C-alpha cells in the first residue's frame, strides 16, 4: 500500500476554492446585468372573434403591447380581407385607449354589411366551407396620413352551436 501524498489534499482544496470562486463570479455577473428593455415595437394583433349583426359585421381583436412602456393607440381603423374578396375597412375611426406595458386590450370594430362578406360568412356558417382565410391590418391614423401598424392572418371557422359567430 502506498502512502498518501501530502500534496493531494491541497490540490483538492485549491480545486474546490477555484470552483466556488467561479460560481460566485457567474452569479454576480448574471445578477448584475439588466434585463433588456423593449421599446418601440409595434402592437401584436390577434383576432378574438367575428359576429354578424342585422346590419353590420362586428370584429373583436386583441391588441397586445409587448413594450415596457405605455402604447398610445390614438385613432385606429381595421382593414379586413376574407378569402380573396376585396378588403373592407371599419366604418369609423375608433379612438382607442393606451395599452399598459406588457398587457393587451380587447377592441371591437364595426364594418358595413358588405354583401360578398355576408355571403362568404353565410356559407361558412352553413358548413358549405370548412374555413375562410382572413387578413387583418390595423391602421393608425393621424392628421397627416394612415400607417399600416400591425398585420395578422389566419383561418376563420364557424363557432359550433352559435349561429353567425366565427373564430
Kindly tell me if the per-residue pLDDT of 62 is higher than 70: yes
Please give the pLDDT value at position 11.
58
**What is the Cα–Cα distance from 38 to 15, expressed in whole angstroms?**
41
Please give the pLDDT value at position 5.
55
Specify burial of residue 119 (Cβ count, 10 A radius: 0-12, 13-18, 19+): exposed
**124, part of any domain:** yes
pLDDT tens digits, 79-128: 999 998 999 999 777 776 789 999 999 999 999 989 999 999 999 999 99
> Do residues 139 and 59 both lie within one domain?
yes
**61, part of any domain:** yes
> Do residues 27 and 48 both lie within one domain?
no
Q: How many independent structural domains does the chain possess?
A: 2
Kindly tell me if the per-residue pLDDT of 21 is higher than 90: no
> Do residues 16 and 93 both lie within one domain?
no
pLDDT (average), residues 27-34: 69
> Do residues 71 and 24 both lie within one domain?
no
Cα four-point dihedral sign 152, 156, 160, 165: positive
> Do residues 85 and 57 both lie within one domain?
yes
**118, part of any domain:** yes
CB 81 within 8 A of CB 134: yes
**What is the Cα–Cα distance from 68 to 71, expressed in whole angstroms?**
9
**38, part of any domain:** no
Q: What is the pTM of this model?
A: 0.75
Please give the pLDDT value at position 37.
84
Return the exposure string of 40-66: e unless at least 16 CB atoms fall within 10 Å of the residue's CB, then b: eebbebbbebbbbeeebbbbebbbbbe
> Do residues 50 and 113 both lie within one domain?
yes
Domain membership of residue 137 as a residue range: 44-166
Amino acid at each position: 500500500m502506498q502512502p498518501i501524498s501530502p500534496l493531494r489534499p491541497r490540490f483538492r482544496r485549491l480545486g474546490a476554492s477555484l470552483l466556488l470562486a467561479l460560481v460566485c463570479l457567474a452569479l454576480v455577473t448574471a445578477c448584475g446585468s439588466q434585463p433588456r428593455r423593449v421599446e418601440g415595437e409595434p402592437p401584436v394583433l390577434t383576432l378574438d372573434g367575428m359576429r354578424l349583426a342585422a346590419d353590420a359585421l362586428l370584429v373583436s381583436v386583441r391588441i397586445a403591447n409587448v413594450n415596457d412602456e405605455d402604447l398610445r393607440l390614438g385613432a385606429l381603423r381595421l382593414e379586413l380581407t376574407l378569402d380573396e374578396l376585396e378588403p373592407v375597412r371599419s366604418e369609423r375611426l375608433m379612438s382607442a385607449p393606451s395599452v399598459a406595458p406588457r398587457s393587451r386590450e380587447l377592441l371591437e370594430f364595426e364594418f358595413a354589411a358588405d354583401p360578398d362578406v355576408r355571403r362568404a360568412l353565410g356559407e361558412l356558417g352553413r358548413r358549405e366551407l370548412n374555413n375562410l382565410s382572413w387578413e387583418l391590418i390595423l391602421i393608425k391614423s393621424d392628421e397627416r396620413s394612415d400607417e399600416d401598424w400591425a398585420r395578422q392572418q389566419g383561418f376563420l371557422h364557424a363557432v359550433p352551436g352559435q349561429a353567425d359567430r366565427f373564430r
